[in-house]
Structure 1
Amino acid sequence: MTLVQITGKKNEEQLTTTSRLIAEIFEKRHSDVIRAIENLECSQDFTERNFALSDYKDDSGKSNKEYIITKDGFVMLAMGFTGEKAFKFKEQYINAFNSMERELKRIYEERQQWVIEREKGKLVRHILTDTIKMKVADSPNKKFMYPNYTKLIYKILFGKSFNELKEIYQIKAKESLRDYISSEELKELEQMEMLISSLINLGWSYEQIKEFIMQNQIKKLAC
């Protein structure tokens, strides 16, 4: 059973539990927990920030009241729960909140790293397109070189064609696959684009670069 959840809009998440879960864990009637919440002598500001009125449907389909509760709200409510069992359940809940706080911190750090890699990726992409522009001889196919290299990279990194990836990630028109992959995958993509830029600068053709990259990928998988 998950005691604490991460809820809210992206970048506005908070850790919450529910009055129903609290009733179940503390072995109380839900109606008694609701009453305890509504009898708390908290300021209106504190109540609005930490106890959000919500509802759920029971097995019969009837809509019933419940509260979505933050960590601060839980602490305030649980102060009124006494006894040996209550002490054990409080500790269990606090541990659950602390665990989810660490998880939320990890999520935020991953997002920050993703933003950094996404911005780096834009610069690396410009380097590759500029390299193609300056180093590849003019031909009717030159304008297709960047998209062809991109498709090659996707195939090597993800083992799927670009069209297959679009289906998997449900990418809409004008959206980029890069907005759907992790910071680590973005980093791998940047490294591959930098390698291709270097090989183009050495005068290698598309076919030579493709063969070199695919052979090295096979060696990496074999290690």
Structure 2
Amino acid sequence: MKYPTVILNGVNVRIDGAGRYNLNDLHKSAVEGGKATESQRPANFIKSAQIKRFVHELSKATKIASVKTIKGGIEPGVWGLELVAIRYAAWIEPKFEIQVYNTFVEAKRKKALAEINRNTARLEYRPLTDAIKHEREAQGKTIAPHHFSNEADLINRIALGMTSAKFRVHHEIGKKESIRDYLTPEQIHCVTELQRANTVFIGMGWDFEQRKATLMGIFNKNHRQPLIEEQHRLAA
């Protein structure tokens, strides 16, 4: 199963569907940062009577299990809501608590910004489809679904290196899910700018090859290097 993550000291800290962070990943991150010992594993942390009381009250307040322990299987470990994760970080070392808190805040800021950008990309797609429709109507040509999907995949091939169908397979995305929800911030920015440009070019009556060449030029000038740098950051 694939989990969203936040990166801390070069370690991917997984987050489950309920918003619980993997405390074993946090421990690994603290060890990598020279802030934790083997004795500070999550299993020892949750044994504390004080922590058990805290977990109980937090579970009552949030209406979900604030700590989930998985024993055995392919993904064993302890998972805790954000407040538990921060408290665990404080239990390890105060400086690590500050680092974890700042990382969580920045991750949420980036997530909110990415959501804004995804919504912008969705809104920007409507003018593109309208331009396709108006251009074909002006030429007295019929309009079929593939005329819209062809333009979308022109942009996807440039921005993502593949069609939306291949992107779904590569990232195991369901047919009813939007691929935009799986794009990185720089990918969303790239797709949005190319959509805007393509809308203008269609309105100007440019043919497919002319638009493709110009869009590739925009990609190479404005987006190729930022995308490469973003991938390096995500892989670090």
TM-score of the superposed pair, with normalisation by structure 1:
0.65
Give aligned pairs, total: 194
Question: Which deviations, in whole Å up to 9, do the C-alpha atoms of 1:20-48 show, x marking residues without a partner?
Answer: 999x83859x999777x23x4x894x352
Structure 1 gap segments, 5+ residues each: 58-62, 79-89
The 1-side partners of 2:198 and 2:132 are apart by 10
- TM-superposed CA distance for 1:190, in Å, is 0.8
- TM-superposed CA distance for 1:177, in Å, is 1.4
Q: Name the structure 2 match of 1:25.
A: 37
Does residue 96 of the first structure (1) align with residue 108 of the second (2)? Answer: no
- TM-superposed CA distance for 1:203, in Å, is 1.4
The 2-side partners of 1:154 and 1:53 are apart by 39
Match of 1:154, SS state, is helix
Q: Whose RCO is larger (CA < 8 A, sep 6+)?
A: 1
- TM-superposed CA distance for 1:179, in Å, is 1.5
CA contact (8 A) 2:155 2:191 kept: yes
Q: Name the structure 2 match of 1:85.
A: none
TM-score of the superposed pair, with normalisation by structure 2:
0.62
The 2-side partners of 1:103 and 1:176 are apart by 27
Distance 1:55-1:195 versus aligned 2 partners, 3 A rule: closer
Match of 2:162, SS state, is coil
- TM-superposed CA distance for 1:198, in Å, is 0.6
Q: Name the structure 2 match of 1:106.
A: 106
Distance 1:13-1:202 versus aligned 2 partners, 3 A rule: same
- TM-superposed CA distance for 1:181, in Å, is 0.5
Distance 1:148-1:102 versus aligned 2 partners, 3 A rule: same
Alignment RMSD (CA, Å): 4.3
Question: Which deviations, in whole Å up to 9, do the C-alpha atoms of 1:107-154 show, x marking residues without a partner?
Answer: 101110111111111211011111111223342465422211111111
Q: Name the structure 2 match of 1:181.
A: 183
Structure 2 gap segments, 5+ residues each: 1-8, 31-35, 60-65, 226-236
Does residue 148 of the first structure (1) align with residue 150 of the second (2)? Answer: yes
- TM-superposed CA distance for 1:164, in Å, is 2.5
- TM-superposed CA distance for 1:171, in Å, is 1.8
Distance 1:55-1:154 versus aligned 2 partners, 3 A rule: closer
- TM-superposed CA distance for 1:14, in Å, is 5.9
Residue number among 147, 168, 172 corresponding to 1:170 in the alignment: 172
Mapping for residues 1-223 of structure 1, pairs under 5 Å: 7=15, 9=17, 12-13=19-20, 16=23, 25=37, 37-38=48-49, 40=50, 44=53, 46-48=54-56, 49=58, 52=67, 54=69, 56=71, 70-72=85-87, 93-136=93-136, 137-140=139-142, 143-217=145-219
Identity between Structure 1 and Structure 2 (%): 16
